[in-house]
Each structure stands twice: as C-alpha cells, then as structure tokens.
Chains A and B, each alone.
Chain A
C-alpha cells in the first residue's frame, strides 16, 4: 500500500488533491455526482465583502491546451458564504476546508479574514492577491513585494489559522513576492493563478471576452507553473501548493517533485466534473508505477 498523505501547514490531508478556487463552486454541484470526501480538501470560490456579479459575458473562451476566463470574482458576499454556503457544505464535506478570500483594500482583506477565522469548518485561509480580472485590488496587491507583504501582515494580525498567499505568475520575479510573503508571516504560498491572455473573434474583429483580457489556465500553463513552483520552493521554507494545468496523477507527481506539498486542480474541473476523483483514484497505481511509496518523500525531489 502506497501512502498518499501529505501535511499542509500542520493539517494532514488524505491526499494532495485540492480543487482550486473558482472551479468548484462551493462543492454542492460535485457532491451530487460523487462523495467529495475523497478530496484532500477544497478551496471555495473566493469571497469579497460585498456581493459581486463579476464581469460582463462572454467571460469564457477556449484556446489550444486550455481556456481563458474573465469571471471577475462573482460571489454572494462573505456574509452569505458564511451563513448559507458553509452550512450546506458541512452536510457533504467533513474535512477542514480552505476559504479563499479577496479584497479591494487592506481593510477588506483583514475584515474578510477575521470573519472566516471564526468559521470552525475553515482549516486554512487562502488569500487571493492574484486575480487578473478585477481592476482594483486583486492582482495589484500581488505584483509588488511590499504590497503582498502588507496584505499578509494585515491578514495574519486577525487570524490564528494558517494563511496561504495565492500568487500571480504575471510578474517579473515571483520568488521575490513569495519571499516577501514569507517574511511577513505567511504560512504557505499557492501558485500559479491564471496568466493574462486574450482571444480575438474573427467575425466581429474584436476581443472575444467582454472584459477584453482573461486568465489563461489548463495544460498550456503547466510548464510555467512547474518552473515557478520549482524556483519558489527552493527560495522559501514554507509549504508551496502547486497549481497550473494539472489533469492527471502524473501531473501531481511532477508538481510535487518540483517542490509542491499539495496541488490544486483548476481548469480540469471545468472540462470534466469527475476530474479530481479520477486523479485521486489513479494516484496509488501511478505511484506504484514510479516506485513511490510515500508522497511526502518526493516533495522537492527534483531540486
């Protein structure tokens, strides 16, 4: 029997597979299809203080090897998430969950983190400083090391739960951002969020996405994600969650060898509702194929 367990910021996961925020809703659509307790954990759709519709549609475009989205953080607001979605999720998912939080100001990040800190179901806070689809806040906090550190400090001041900073690849040096987060007290980092891209509609001769640009995800970004996880995990001493183009158990192993303690699966959930379950089900056999007894042993093995 191989061992698929991994430990993320002091909490043990049955396996490293975590659906990424924004690709799994609040879990209920998937719980209708299979028992989602097979997941390591799940990262909920990102919450902001106020309800958000998000960006105008169309906000999805396919491209070679993946897709782009410009959803723009649609969510019912953090109070509704806590009062409505968390109790619904408790019925179908019995493990600690990861609460993803976004904000438009330092105060909002702190306010949202303080609210999620009180939610007993929440095991980790994942702080989104990397959304490319909102015009203020979001990614603007994640592209300058000092700004990323400020958000980290503001959130750490109001919670005792592990704080994981979700980083953007749309920077010249992601390592400096990760280091700034670590120095400011972050308990982990997750990377990468989507890469800014665009699509043109030949018939209208205009950008296909109503928001003009969108975030690229899917297998196309995996090499970039592997490279960044490899670089960041060598530079910091906190756990790294690897995100970007994971669709198979083999991808999980590659990401962990690059230095990830756990992984998030994003775009694959949009293409196949059973994506995470299929990855988890096939993980033991793929580990055996590559003579891996325990996943914990291979973290950073490629360094």
Chain B
C-alpha cells in the first residue's frame, strides 16, 4: 500500500451515472487486477474505495457509478485537480489457477475491474470469454473496450434491448470454461455460485472504514474463518463462501 497525490487527467461520463476517471501519479504499489484504491474526497471523513479498471506505471483509470453524495461530488471534480489516494489495497485476482479458457462474469459496476483482469489473462496467452450484464442497452459501457483486448464478449440485458435477454447466468449455462472470475451485485453472485460449472473467484464490495485491515468494519464469515473484505479480500474463492 502507498499513499500519494494524483492529478486528474480526465473525468467524463461513459453511460448514465457511470463516469471514467483517469489519474496521473505513482502506481507502483498496484500488483495485480482486482486490487482497489481509496480516494480522499474534500469534506468527507472517510475515503471511498474503487476498483481499478486499468493502470500504467504513471496513470490509473477508475470507472465508477455515482451512488451517493461522495461519488456525485467526485463526478464534478475538474481536470487538473489533485486528489490523495491509497493504492495497492486488497489481494486481487489470482490468474495462475485459471486454466486456458477463463470466463469473466460481471454485472453493472462489477464490469470495470474485468478490463484489467482480461488484459492480464490475455497477456498470459489465455483464451478469455466474458459475460457482461446490464439493465438495458443504454447502460452498456466498456463492453467494446474489453472486446478490443481480444475477449469473446457476450452481453446480456434484463430487458433484451441488446444481446441475450435475461441475466448473466442465462448466458453462462452453455459456455465452455476452465475457471471463472466474477464481480457484481449479491443476487448475481448467488446465482453464479449456484450454477457455475467450475471453481472461481468472487470480488466483493463492502462499506469499508479504513480499507487496510485495521478497523474490522467490513468482515465477512467464510469457511476459512473471518475475512476482512478490504485486506483478506476483496477476492474470495468459491469454495470458501458460505452460501
């Protein structure tokens, strides 16, 4: 983990209530996809955790949904502004266990981190597929970018306005994969957990206090004991979940 100042290079809307933030600063603490960052916002006591969509040695991309007061204020931050970050938080995904045909399954704000993960898996020479779920066609974001990495992308929408009508699990049924990685809302997690054909990793969201394992605010009970989502997670493996 590192604390550092980052400059905003870009902060633009990608889809309704979804924004892309590009920051410039020292990203050397980030080890792998699935880790997260904490941004300090003006006038707020606690930081806000965000998944990492992409990073280079000097830039960091975060795609976030405006869900509350903090993220709504963040969406108003202008290019050139400096923000303080904690980077390299959490365990991240383990790609060594993926086999040669990993499947990425994501819904809504779970989609962004799949970009970084897909990049990593493709670089390892794997044949990557993804099922990305959205409510409606107008909500779709990042699907083209993930496809452009060389990923075989299937889109599902709840209302059928794009891709397969239904949920991500409807598209997963007939797919051939060696392992899966998923991020999305809890209802989606439980459905994926129920029908998945292989082992896999789940990246959890939580209301966090510190983000670095000190306050025990975001603990979850697992078969392997109590896990702090911020420090022992956010990625947990299918076999340890109590569902």
We find that the number of chain B residues with CB closer than 8 angstroms to chain A is 26
Known: A271-B46, A273-B210. A22 touches B216 (CB 8 A): yes
Chain A residues contacting B221 (CB-CB under 8 Å) are 53
Chain A residues contacting B46 (CB-CB under 8 Å) are 60, 62, 67, 270-271
**Binary flags per residue of A259-303, CB closer than 8 Å to B gives 1, else 0:** 000000001011111100000000000000000000000000000
Known: A53-B219, A59-B217, A270-B46. A29 touches B231 (CB 8 A): yes
Q: Are A58 and B207 in contact, with the CB atoms below 8 A?
A: yes
| Nearest CB in chain B: distance from A97 CB, A | 16
**Quick one: which of B214-230 are within 8 Å of A by CB?**
214-221, 226
Known: A53-B226, A60-B209, A74-B226. A271 touches B216 (CB 8 A): no
Q: Are A57 and B206 in contact, with the CB atoms below 8 A?
A: yes
Q: Is B47 an interface residue (CB 8 A)?
A: yes
Chain A residues contacting B208 (CB-CB under 8 Å) are 60
CA distance A66 to B215 in the complex (A): 14
- Residues of A in contact with B, size category: 20 to 34
Known: A74-B219, A271-B45, A271-B46. A57 touches B210 (CB 8 A): no
Chain A residues contacting B206 (CB-CB under 8 Å) are 57-58
The winner among B40, B210, B214, B220 for most chain A CB atoms within 10 A is B214
Chain A residues contacting B1 (CB-CB under 8 Å) are 32-33, 273
Known: A29-B212, A29-B231, A273-B214. A57 touches B45 (CB 8 A): no
Q: Is the interface of B mostly helix, strand, loop or mixed?
A: loop
Q: Is A61 an interface residue (CB 8 A)?
A: yes
Chain B residues contacting A23 (CB-CB under 8 Å) are 210, 214-215
Q: Which of A30, A65, A74, A274 contacts B3 (CB 8 A)?
A: A274
CA distance A140 to B133 in the complex (A): 49
Known: A32-B1, A270-B209. A60 touches B217 (CB 8 A): yes
Q: Which of A54, A218, A270 contacts B210 (CB 8 A)?
A: A270
| CB-nearest residue of chain A to B44 | A62
Chain B residues contacting A33 (CB-CB under 8 Å) are 1
Q: Are B214 and A30 in contact, with the CB atoms below 8 A?
A: yes
Chain B residues contacting A230 (CB-CB under 8 Å) are none
Chain A residues contacting B214 (CB-CB under 8 Å) are 23-25, 29-30, 269-270, 273
Known: A53-B221, A57-B220. A69 touches B215 (CB 8 A): yes
CA distance A30 to B208 in the complex (A): 17
Q: Are B45 and A71 in contact, with the CB atoms below 8 A?
A: no
3 shortest interchain CB distances as A-B pairs: A60-B217, A58-B207, A60-B209
Q: Apart from A23-B214, A270-B209, list 6 A-B contacts with CB within 8 A.
A: A25-B215, A29-B212, A60-B209, A62-B44, A67-B45, A69-B215
